Amino acid sequence: MSLRARILRHVLRALARPQIARTATPQDARPRFLRAARLMFRPPPLSLILPASGPVAGLWVQNQPRGDGVILYLHGGAYVMGAPETHAAMLARLACLSGFPAFLPRYHLAPEHPFPAAFDDALAAWSRLLALGYAPGQIVLGGDSAGGGLALALLGHLCRIGQAPAGAFAFSPWTDLTFTGDSLRENAARDPLLPAERVAEVRAMILGDPPATAPADPRLSPLFADFPGAPPVQIHVAETEILRDDSLRLQGPLPHADIRMAGDLPHVWPIFHNILPEARSTLAATADFIRACLAQSSAGS
């Protein structure tokens, strides 16, 4: 682990995690996340970040595109916060490294819009890309945290209806809202960012009152989904995260997935690409994966 990663871990543990633990409502958390993103995350030179036109709101992000494919990226934030703007800088770097643009849809957040609002919006974003002329094999799904779980839930649905994308990747995905992973308890004191004691509260916001579904619904917990004919999948997770087992157990429903476990890094560490060499390495590996998926899909079409 780099010196910068060790310093960042201590800063997050001292400042960010306590703030997340005591923030009263998602409405309080959302502007703080947006301000932090604007302060800490910068896109590389020559990046172009534009609002999406048409029926699905969001951002288009690109940096000298060199291919015909596209990344459909679903931002994280526990389904209650986050926005395309909080993740645009990271996607600009990934677009630069991969050579492909990214579309970040603006999906509805809980508790104002509980399940299945986010899933329905993700599916609408997929349909929007098809309407723009992209074939399924020209699209790579991606996401982080709740957005990573959402991307994998969308992947399962698309596999089941015969519209599998070229591939999918996720950073620290949240895939099990039944909370059966051992890491939720084993890493409760080790995770430098996420307070495990608040996950049940957040789940209640996502499910609504009364709950719209069971926590094991595969549209919400893709750990329990089927993935017939799945394309290549790459997952990145850190050993000390409370969501570690949400990734490792995906080897069951996705036996051919490339699941890469890092050391003591924060949740969704690639978003710290301006700070961490580990983040830049992970994004470079992800860019290689994206190019390989789209090249393989193009060769097979």
Residues with catalytic roles = 145, 241, 267
Number of neighbours of residue 282 by Cβ within 10 angstroms:
20
Among 99, 71, 39, CA closest to 167 = 71
Is residue 259 within 8 A of residue 250, CB to CB? The reply is yes
Dist. CA 180–CA 245, nearest whole Å: 9
Q: Is the dihedral of CA 105, 106, 109, 112 positive or negative?
A: negative
The token pair that represents 293 in the structure block: 């998926």
Dist. CA 200–CA 182, nearest whole Å: 15
Q: At what angle are helices 277-300 and 84-98 packed, to 10 degrees? A: 70
Dist. CA 106–CA 159, nearest whole Å: 23
Among 119, 169, 120, CA closest to 140 = 169
Our measurement of the distance from residue 31's CA atom to the centroid of its chain's CA atoms, rounded to an integer in Å, reads 19
Dist. CA 276–CA 90, nearest whole Å: 12
Q: Give the residues across from 167 on adjacent strands.
A: 140
